[in-house]
Amino acid sequence: MKKILLLMLSVLVLLSCKDEEPVNQIYLENGQIDLAVKTCYQLKINRDKPTATATYIFSSSNENIATVDDKGFVTAIANGHATISVKESNSEQVATCRINVKPFEVTISNKEITLKPDEMQSLSVTLNPASSINQYVKWETSDEQIVKVNENGWVTAVNSGEAYVIASCGGEPDSCKVMVEYKELVINLETPGTLKEFLNEDISKLTITGNINFVDMFTIRKSDKLIYIDMSKAHIVSYQDNYYSNNENELPKEAFMNSNIRICLLPNDLKSIGESSFKNCKKLIKVNIPQTVRTISNGAFSDCTSLISIQLPNDLGTIESSAFAYTGIKSIIIPPKIKKILSQTFEYSRISSITLPEGLESIGSSAFKGSSIEKLILPCNLKSLGNHTFSNCLSLIEIHSLNPIPPSADNTTFWYTYNLYIPKGSYDKYYIAPGWMEFKNIIEE
């Protein structure tokens, strides 16, 4: 009888084992990983038996330390620990990975390098502790006017001098000293128009004295590697041919247009800067305008996007249309002798701060359209404003008009979302004046 019972029990056990299916377990490829801040990492799910229909839900125990998206893409946010969990949507199975966000020590491959302007060199780092993961390394430069570096450690020499490239990975940084050296030509030009006989293609800095003309500036314009020009002690003489001409002490039309010039010191006795003379010089970062200059012509510096500052001479009398349009200039003081700012002069520039002279009488159409001006003070002698003069100035929050009589304007002169401050007793005039009545907030002060 006992034998029969044992036999039946064995059969039941075998039958029950046959009905049970083995668990198709999920797990993450790594149970623990170390990441530096800002490093991203793609988690990989493994399971005993692959299945195409499974869906997963990811979560982080502390999103201040590490986040994860619905595809398992982890981003390290701050130093600390977090657990990333993944759950199969149709079961209770959960797999986890511990994320350790920590600093890494870095060592740059070179401690010192020497480059010429526009030369490039790649730097790399080793990490401690070593990591098979592509950790985020932050690259910086101590002076972008001398050297630049991209997110992959590629260094580009800009101008002569010394700067440091700095790398960090959440911990102590390491640095590489970069020395940028010019190949320089210093010349006193005895015969104007003959610079091309002396300037070879390897020269990156030119210091020139003597008499020069349009032909010499055309030679400079066509020299791809020439980026620093000092003509402060040179004298521009008159020139004329069938196509080009310039007067004495006048920087010719299109003199350096589209060139690679970064720094230019103009002649000390210069009187006029010609039309489009620096137009589209995208790399221009510094230019001196001598106190002797009286006229800056149409489009002289337009599209000089790297030019962020400039000082205008006190006796400057004329700034023509589009002279500084689409530049990177952030702040400027308009000299006292300027009576008119013509159309599009600073259109879509990056100017956030401007000082206008008391004697200014008119500002032309689109003169500051699309600029970054934040606060505007219109002088008391201003009589007229053109259409779209300050339209699309998205950063502008307040205007102070000092003239008790509203300058002429139209309903396109401004965008009317900011406050208008006017002299006491002038509200009734501004309230009915075209181009001013559209303001919703008019405040006497």
pLDDT, mean of residues 111-132: 92
Q: pLDDT at residue 313 above 60?
A: yes
Segment 152-166 mean pLDDT: 91
Contacts of 88 (CB under 8 A, 6+ apart): 26, 54, 55, 56, 57
* pLDDT of amino acid 18: 45
Please say if the pLDDT value at position 106 is more than 80.
Answer: yes
Cβ(62)–Cβ(48) below 8 Å: no
d(CA 202, CA 200): 6
Torsion of CA 419, 421, 426, 429, to 10 degrees: -30
Cβ–Cβ under 8 Å, residues 351 and 331: yes
Residue 29 has a pLDDT of 85
For 376, the 3-state DSSP assignment is: strand
pLDDT, residue 245, reads 82
Pairing of strands 263-265, 228-230: parallel
267 contact partners, CB below 8 Å, separation of at least 6: 231, 232, 233, 234, 235, 236, 249, 290
Instruction: Over range 201-222, report the average pLDDT.
Output: 92
- Across 61-84, average pLDDT: 95
For residue 8, the model assigns a pLDDT of: 55
The residue type found at 427 is Y
Does 15 score more than 50 pLDDT?
Answer: no
In the predicted model, is pLDDT for residue 132 greater than 90? no
β-strands 120-122, 154-157 pairing: antiparallel
**Mean pLDDT of the 193-217 span:** 92
- Selected residue with higher pLDDT from 48 and 371: 371
The pLDDT of residue 382? 97
Q: How far apart are CA 352 and CA 329, in angstroms?
A: 9
Q: Is the pLDDT of residue 360 over 50?
A: yes
53 burial via Cβ count (<10 Å: 0-12, 13-18, 19+): exposed
What value does the mean pLDDT take over residues 75-101? 91
State the pLDDT at residue 185.
Answer: 92
Residues 235-281 have pLDDT tens digits of 999 999 888 888 999 999 999 999 989 899 999 999 999 999 999 99
Q: Which residue has the higher pLDDT, 292 or 48?
A: 292
pLDDT, tens digit, 9 for 90 and up, residues 316-348: 999 999 999 999 999 999 999 999 999 999 999
Q: Would you state the pLDDT for residue 117? A: 83
Per residue in 25-68, pLDDT (tens digit) is 788 888 899 999 999 999 998 876 666 677 889 999 999 999 99
The CA distance from 200 to 216, in Å, is 13
Average pLDDT over residues 365-375: 95
pLDDT bucket at 23, cuts 50 / 70 / 90:
low
* Average pLDDT value for residue range 389-401: 93
Candidate from 11-25, 105-119, 219-233, 287-301 with smallest mean pLDDT: 11-25
Q: State which H helix or E strand residue 44 sits in.
A: none
Q: Would you give the DSSP letter of residue 284?
A: -
Query: Does the pLDDT of residue 160 top 90, yes or no?
Result: no
Cα angle 126, 131, 134 (rounded to 5 degrees) comes to 85
Amino acid at 105: E
The SS3 assignment for 220 reads helix
Does the pLDDT value for residue 19 go beyond 50? no
Q: C-alpha distances in angstroms, 58 versus 28, 52, 71? A: 12, 18, 8
Residue 72 confidence (pLDDT) above 50: yes
Of 124 and 144, which is predicted with more confidence? 124
Which tokens sit at 283? 């790399």
Q: Provide the greatest CA pair distance for the chain.
A: 129
Q: What is the pLDDT of residue 246?
A: 85
For residue 424, CA distances in Å to 235, 360, 414 come to: 53, 21, 22
- Residue from 131, 127, 160 nearest 146 by CA: 160
User: Does residue 306 or residue 225 have the better pLDDT?
Assistant: 306
Percent of the chain with pLDDT over 90: 76
From residue 85, how far is each of 75, 158, 316 by CA, in Å?
14, 48, 68
* Per-residue pLDDT at 20 exceeds 60: no
pLDDT band at 172 (very low <50, low <70, confident <90, very high): confident
Alpha-carbon distance of 271 to 336, in angstroms, equals: 17
Burial 179-191 (b: 16+ CB within 10 A, else e): ebbbeebebebee
> Which sign does the torsion angle of CA 208, 211, 214, 219 carry?
negative
| CA gap 411, 7 in Å, rounded | 101
Q: Is the pLDDT of residue 7 over 80?
A: no
Span 215-233, average pLDDT: 91
- Position 336 scores a pLDDT of 96
Residue 224: how many other CB atoms lie within 10 Å: 11
More confident site: 419 or 202: 419
CA distances from 385 to 332, 337, 358, 362, 390 (A): 19, 18, 15, 6, 9
- Which pLDDT score, from 0 to 100, does residue 88 have? 85
Q: 161's torsion region: left (phi>0), alpha (psi -120 to 50) or beta?
A: left
CA atoms of 437 and 217, how far apart (whole Å): 51
